[in-house]
């Protein structure tokens, strides 16, 4: 049996889908479905059981038996980068992960958990090293706090543990994320409303729409998660991006090319994001490649086409 926390969320439900495609349906999904729209991400998937996230952590804390578990893919988190309730963020992202980590270690269960490129903040180097880590928001700090905690145990693990620092992920099954959905999702809404898509004007020395991010297709995120499941000899913290920064304009052009119409509108950079915005990200994949993972990532043009083909079908 496999456990996928956050299994009704964006990346989690895509992992469940990927497991189903590989013939696996012995999956326990853990999530919070108070926002019932997330349940639609599971409607076309097959799972064995479901636990509410609070029910699940209570079982963990009480040491209850939930059957033989092969591995845990921990995707559950508050991913709202504009949330500043630090108590809530640390309880949800840090403490929950810490308790799950020890539960897995005590039972020798492999754990793959979601970290984030938000741990790096506004720097120009994106290596999995403390010297590169300076988050710009409490979300990024909550992820970094657990990465730091995990590092204390890295040389004395009883079961494999992998932290994956997701860069800018896009793909199907993110419709519930609201303002935290990828730019492609927002482009779709904007196109329906006005036939125009919006990008920020220049900032941090970048021209209009030329801020660069490492945009990664969710299919690649699924593939890397499952690669680590198949390679239990590897533990550590690894970047999960393409290794190639691309401007928002490139994402916008790929979107408009697929539609065959529309135009870009550049809007003023929001005051509340100044000093808290990553204008550039690019995953350093050295550690991932040194671990033996030679996965080939989709580029923006192929990924955007696949995304729009999927959501339009």
* Residues assigned a catalytic role: 139, 177
CA dihedral 209, 288, 284, 175 (to 10 degrees): 20
Cα distance between residue 202 and residue 268, in whole Å: 8
Is beta strand 212-213 parallel, antiparallel or unpaired with respect to 246-247? antiparallel
CA dihedral 237, 88, 178, 208 (to 10 degrees): -60
Residues 6+ apart with CB under 8 A from 189: none
Question: What phi and psi, each to the nearest 5 degrees, are found at residue 109?
Answer: -105, 125
Q: Which burial class, exposed, middle or buried, applies to 264 when counting CB atoms under 10 A from its CB (0-12, 13-18, 19+)?
A: middle
Q: Tell me if 213 sits within 8 A of 248, measured CB to CB.
A: yes
């Amino acid at each position: 049996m496999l456990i996928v926390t956050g299994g009704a969320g964006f990346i989690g439900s895509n992992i469940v889908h990927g497991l189903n495609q590989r013939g696996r349906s012995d999956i326990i999904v853990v999530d919070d479905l108070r926002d019932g729209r997330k349940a639609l991400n599971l409607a076309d998937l097959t799972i064995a059981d479901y636990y509410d996230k609070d029910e699940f952590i209570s079982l963990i804390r009480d040491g209850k038996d939930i059957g033989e578990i092969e591995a845990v893919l921990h995707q559950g988190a508050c991913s709202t980068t504009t949330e500043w309730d630090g108590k809530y963020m640390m309880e949800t992202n840090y403490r929950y992960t810490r308790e799950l980590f020890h539960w897995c270690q005590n039972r020798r269960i492999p754990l793959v958990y979601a970290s984030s490129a938000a741990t790096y903040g506004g720097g120009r180097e994106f290596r999995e090293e403390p010297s590169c880590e300076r988050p710009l928001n409490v979300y990024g700090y909550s992820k970094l706090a657990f990465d730091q905690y995990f590092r204390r145990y890295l040389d004395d693990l009883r079961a494999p543990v992998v932290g994956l620092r997701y860069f800018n992920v896009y793909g199907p099954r993110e419709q519930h994320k609201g303002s935290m959905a990828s730019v492609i999702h927002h482009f779709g809404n904007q196109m329906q409303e006005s036939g125009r898509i919006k990008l920020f004007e220049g900032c941090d020395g970048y021209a209009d729409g030329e801020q660069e991010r490492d945009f990664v297709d969710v299919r690649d995120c699924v593939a890397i998660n499952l690669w680590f499941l198949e390679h239990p000899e590897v533990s550590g913290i690894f970047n999960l991006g393409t290794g190639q920064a691309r401007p928002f304009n490139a994402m916008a052009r790929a979107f408009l090319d697929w539609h065959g119409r529309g135009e870009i509108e550049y809007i003023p950079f929001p005051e509340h994001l100044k000093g808290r915005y990553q204008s550039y990200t690019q995953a350093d994949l050295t550690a991932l490649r040194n671990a033996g993972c030679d996965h080939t990532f989709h580029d923006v043009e192929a990924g955007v086409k696949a995304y729009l083909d999927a959501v339009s079908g």
